Structure 1
Amino acid sequence: MSGRRPADTAAAGQPDPKRAKTGAPATGAPPVLDIAAIRAQLAAKRAALEAQAGTSTSKSASPAPAAPTPPPAAAPGPAALPPKPAMDASIAERLAAAKARIEALTARAANPYLSGAGSMPKTEPTTSSAPQPSVSSVALHPLLMTEAQREAQASKNEKQAMRDRYKTMAPKFTSVKANANIVASAAPSRASPAAASAPSLNPYASTASTSNSPAPDEERAVTRRSKKLQFSRAGKYVAQGDALRNEQKMDALRQRIAEASRKAGLDSEFDTLERSLKRQPPPEVEWWDKAILPEGSNYDDLEKSVEWITTSQDSLITHLIQHPIPIPAPGDKKVGERGLMLTKKEQKKMRRQRRQAELEDKRDRQKMGLLPPDPPKVRLANLMKVLTSDAVQDPTKVEAKVRKEVAMRAYMHEKDNKDRKLTTEQRKEKEYQQMVARERKGIHGAVFKIKYLTNGRHRFKVRETARSDLLSGVCIFHPTFALVLIEGVDKSVKHYKKLMLNRIDWTEQARPLGEEGDDGEDGDDDEEGGTKRAGADGEGPDLADNKCELIWEGEVPERTFKMFRARHAESDTKAKEWLTPKWEGMWDLAKRWVWQGEDL
């Protein structure tokens, strides 16, 4: 079939040479399906049918008139077939069916959900009066696109991905409502031009968001306002360094003067009293306000400071609100209900009622047969009443058996008590844990002044009682008097007070060294070896007017001493060193103390 008509050539998808020369516009429809291949198949079928019908070669090779050029203003749509010559009815029906099939495929390609493009193309708003694109302008399936169309589609998808990637991410946490309201009120609205012209409170907000003509396809760059450099004045840090060095020099000088005066013994009780009673003047600005107020200001110019706080950018106070984490109040904690405090008589009554109820329950169970009955408790007093017949038959054997049972019951009773008794280590551990539990409630202290502490028995009781009660402190021996300072839990302090004020007879004279009961009572009271200097030969001061008085008692924040020790002090300065700066005021109080019953 070498002499096909131009119509067949057009039907086979070949370009028309006349149309190409004249420059007539094509149909204008973008290739939706492979229509050229379909046309080629239809032309082949048609040629085969003509050959079967006996169509002559001359008729098939005769020149046919050129296909009319479609008007340039034709609407874009499916390719229109050129007019065909007269043919058989069966061939015409097949051609009509092929046309209908092509139109159906073209209409199906117009559906975006069947084309495989994934999304409808974005239509840019234009002001020109250009005709709207037809159905065939929908994005094609990648298999139906040409190489140029695939590249264009890939570049478009890449741009869209870049825009989605650099979008501002929404916060993944719930913001504070107060701050959100402030930011929302400060953010300008796109709909209202008045709000768009209002200045934003956030200096880092994007300027593109306040423009009247937003560009959705362009990336909006966040513009930040650079902060101006603030230079420190010349010599600022040099002056601070000089002031710090001068202060350190003054502290070192004061320390040297204090050491020299302490070595020379010039630190009298009056100087110490004046120093302890003198209070430092209040500072110009408290430390909690120094970080908020401007540098160099005080409470006198408070109005200017408040104005600076509200207007300055360097202020720590802003319009934002900080909500601290709520901490439950101590009163909100659920504490187990405490039982009623019963007196000794009520406790005995409750115990008697409880044991009676248990006995009644046990008897009821024995009556019902749930528990075996208790064996009879035979004693020598009820021997004949319980074992009547057996006691009459062999009274000696029964009496020996009863005595054995009584001894066994007494032995088991003593054994149970012994098993329940705590060992020495367990008892000490229990007492220590009780003392620690009491110590959490608070530490108490007491100070005693003793006229003469020369008796070895008195020193032994003072020292060993403090150690057994787990009290810490110090006992200072001075040529004029003795001072005892203790600290510990309230129970131990109360017991020690009874010892010092009631139990010890302070007027008792010291025994001679050779007398029985006096050896070894006075141990190593002092590491300096001066504990036996008074009354060592049995001749000490007369203790007829000796007495001990409590000069101070109260609570202390924490323990100062680790254990109870005895120390000798020949001067007031040495005594205050043993007492530490926390308790040195007690020495001045003891020196000014007036004994009861004595005149000033």
Structure 2
Amino acid sequence: MLSKTELEELRPWVAETVQNTLGYSQDALVITALDCISKNLSRQSTTDQLAHYLAKEAPNFVATLYKKVLELKTAKLMSASFTSAKKRTLEPGEDEEFGNDEKPPDSKKKRASRFAASEDEAAPPDIQQLLENTRRQIEERKKQTQAMLIQTRAQVPTNVLPGVVPSLLPTTPHYPQAPAPSPASLDPGAMDKAKRMSELQARIQSQLMQQPGLLSGNKASSVKPTPLILDKEGRTVDNLGRAIQLSVRQPTLKANIRAQQRATFRQITEKKTSVKEVERVEGAFVDGRVRQGVAGRTKKQLAFNEPGKYVKQGQVLRAKAQLEALQTQIASVARKTGISSATKLALIAPQDGNDGGIPNTEWWDAVIISGESYADATLSQIPPQSRFKGITSLIEHPVKVQPPAEPNKMAALPIILTSRERKKLRKQRRREAEREKQEKIQFGLIDKPEPKVRISNLMRVLGSEAVQDPTKVEAHVRAQMAERQRTHEAANLSRKLTPAQRSAKKVAKMKEDLSCGVHVTVYRVHDLSKPAIKFKVDMNAQQLHLTGCVMLFPDVNLVIVEGGPKALKKFKRLMMNRIKWKPKKAAADDDNDSDGEGHVTNMCSVVWEGVVHDRAFNDWRVRNFPTEPLARDHLKRHKIEHYWDLALSQRIVEQEEEES
């Protein structure tokens, strides 16, 4: 892990690497990278952290970053090893093994304990031999370290960076001037260490030569900001006169950072598309349906009106007004003569084929008449043999068909018992269950239950045991009572239904059996535009689990409901009694059919009700229809368009009665 000072020294290098990778500086990325290094995260974790900023360039950036950190750590370890070696140098006059045993007269002598014995007297011969071997090994390692340091100082050139290398290499002024040992006399392991150390020193020197501004003579100078040097043209340059680019303060908000990233990505994409653009024939590979260019808000231009524009619009409006007045006049004349009602009823009639027309030949006459119609053949032209063919003296009785709305089997009527009879049946069931339990105990199938002890029958059930230790027996009895109470509550809780089960049970209870037929009722309302009334109709139909639809159309608002008889009975009470269709003023004045504003009083009527074999709708919907054909087509898809024809004909008849 790097210290704060080393992280600050690493910050300029990280900023420069980010500048080279992205093409612009980004402080958030530098801070995140240094944070990952300070937390000593793995390469994969660091890559995941920086992938938000660098995308595909994150692995390469992390590899370069960790390589630089490894170099800094190696330099730190080398500096620490040299410092420790410098501290371990021997002072003149000290013994080469452990120093001189004789201390200066002014040094304080430690008072020996009267209980401690000398080392030679206390240690056995085996321990003394072990100490001698240890001292000998330490002496050999000291000699190897001295030789390695002398050889390293001789190999490293000190004239490359005179201000830096002497500060890194340890000085040994107190070493005796002994000749360098030959390579044959050194340990092979020590030779390898010396070789690696020399290579590391050479690498450090090369890094310092490439970046001379990282280290300086004193330690405080690395913390100070770099001085600003300007050339004649006002550009920022370094010590060698090369132009450099200063870091610009970047936005720290996520929105600003993302906006800047989008702008940079857009510029890069435009450059790539401009470079890779291929010359092609105009229109050869262009689809006219695809919009060319970047979508954006176009500048609004001035639009001048052509002469006579508003004059034409006025003429069109006046022609429409004249046409509407002419249509109103024609409708009033047709209404007086009765042609309009006949025309509207004729338009309501179905136009599909010959439905509802008179057949050419009835099915019972098709056996006698050989032609396709009555006009093609007469009885005089038919021979007597074939005239009465198929007519016999036998009477044909048709097969009885079960009605679809009646069940195949008669439901058994439930037996209503009195309270005395219900108690008697309960006693019989409990007696049979107890008898079966006793038989199982006699045959050894189940264990005999413990006696049910309570405080009231304590003395009678336990007897002498209760007299001997009444406190213990009372505690045991109360524990049994508490256990029985817990068992009872657990059984009740297990039988208790969950909220979902209660809701499902309630829905199943409200839904009725529709296997014998579906009850249908069709209502027509003059005005269903009030939100309160519309909400009541919609919510009651959903709560009663009815299917159907509400069709909103002026004067022919249809409400078609399908379901069971009980649900339809409740819904009919809502539509006919609970909802007050007439306003209070109109209800008070029954003679006047219109309210104070001149509109027809709102009312609800039943168009048709009955039983059908299957449902026409699968759910409940409220829909608005602007025209009559759309409304009729909607019901035609469900094969119930006759509901609309019936309701529309009733409205036409009512209008004719009101106008007359």
TM-score, scaled to structure 2: 0.33
Higher share of residues assigned helix: 2
